Amino acid sequence: MTGEVRVIPLRGVPELEEGDDLAAELAVAIAAVGGLERGDVVVVAQKAVSKVEGRVVSLDGVEPTARAVELAGPDGDPRHVQVILDESAEIVRSRPPLVIAETRHGFVCASAGVDASNAKGPRTVVLLPLDPDASARRLRERLLETTGVAPAVVVSDSFGRAWRQGTTDVALGVAGIAPVTDMRGELDAAGRELHSTRIAVADEIAGAAELVMGKARGIPAAIVRGVDVEPGEGGAAELVMPRDRDLFR
C-alpha cells in the first residue's frame, strides 16, 4: 500500500568465514524474496561484515597490559579488555568489567563494539569493521553487480544508550542515502519551523531491521522497503556528534 514500509528478513545466509562473498550470499537470499526494488535499503549486521573481512581475533596470545587487568576487575577477562583497549580511541566510562569507549570511527559504545558472542570459538572475539562506510559502499556496488539494482546499504550494530535501558540497532556504515534528513526550513501545520529538524533516519532504519533480524535466529540482514529516503553520498560519520559540540564528552 502506498506509504507503507515493509521490513523483509533475508534468510538462509550460511555461517560466514573470512573471504566469503557476502554480497553473493545476500543476493541468493534477496532472490528468494523476489529481488530488490528501487529505493530499497539493505541492512546488514556488522558482525556478518566483520567476519568476511577477517575482523576476528583470537584471545590466545593477547598480552593484557596492567590497564586491561585493572579495567577487567575480578569478573572480566583481561585479554578481552586488552582487545577493547586496542580498538579504542578513548575510554569514556568504566565500571569493571564494563568499558564504554569511543572507537576509532568516533562511535561511543560498550566494549568498543568488540563482541564475544557469535564468534568462531570460545577464545575469539569479533571487532567492528575498520571502515564500515567503505564496507557499505562495497556491498552496494557488489549488490548492483549481482542483482542489477543498487540498494542503499546500512551496516548496523546494537548499541546501548545513555539514560535508557536495553539496546537498539543503529547505523555504523551507510551508502546511498543521507543518514540524517534535514528538515530545517520545513514548516508544520501552524507554519512554524519544525522542532526535530534533523532525523537520524539511518538509525531508525537499522532499528526497524532489527525487528526481523535476530542474533538467535541467524538472520543477518533485511530489506527495508518504502522509506521516503533522500539519496546521498555521505556516510555514518555524519551520525557522529563532533567532540566540540557534544555536551556529553
Q: How far is CA 75 from CA 9, 11, 69, in A?
A: 37, 36, 10
Compare residues 66 and 95 and give the one whose CB is closer to its own copies. Answer: 95
- List the one residue out of 3, 26, 41 whose CA is nearest residue 232: 41
Q: How many residues make up the chain in this entry? A: 249
Quick one: 53 or 115, whose CB is closer to its own copies? 115
Phi-psi region at 97: left, alpha or beta (left = phi > 0; alpha = psi -120 to 50): alpha
The distance of closest approach from Cβ of residue 164 to its own copies in the complex, given in angstroms and rounded to an integer, is 5
**Nearer of residues 64 and 113 to its own copies, judged by Cβ:** 113
Q: How far is the CB of 137 from its own copies (least distance, A)?
A: 20
3-state SS class at 68: helix
Judged by CB, which is closer to its own copies: 106, or 150? 106
In the bound complex, what is the minimum distance in angstroms from residue 77's beta carbon to its own copies? Answer: 13
Sequence-separated (6 or more) residues with CB below 8 Å from residue 217: none
Q: CB 2 → its own copies: shortest distance, Å?
A: 9
Torsion of CA 89, 85, 108, 217, to 10 degrees: 140
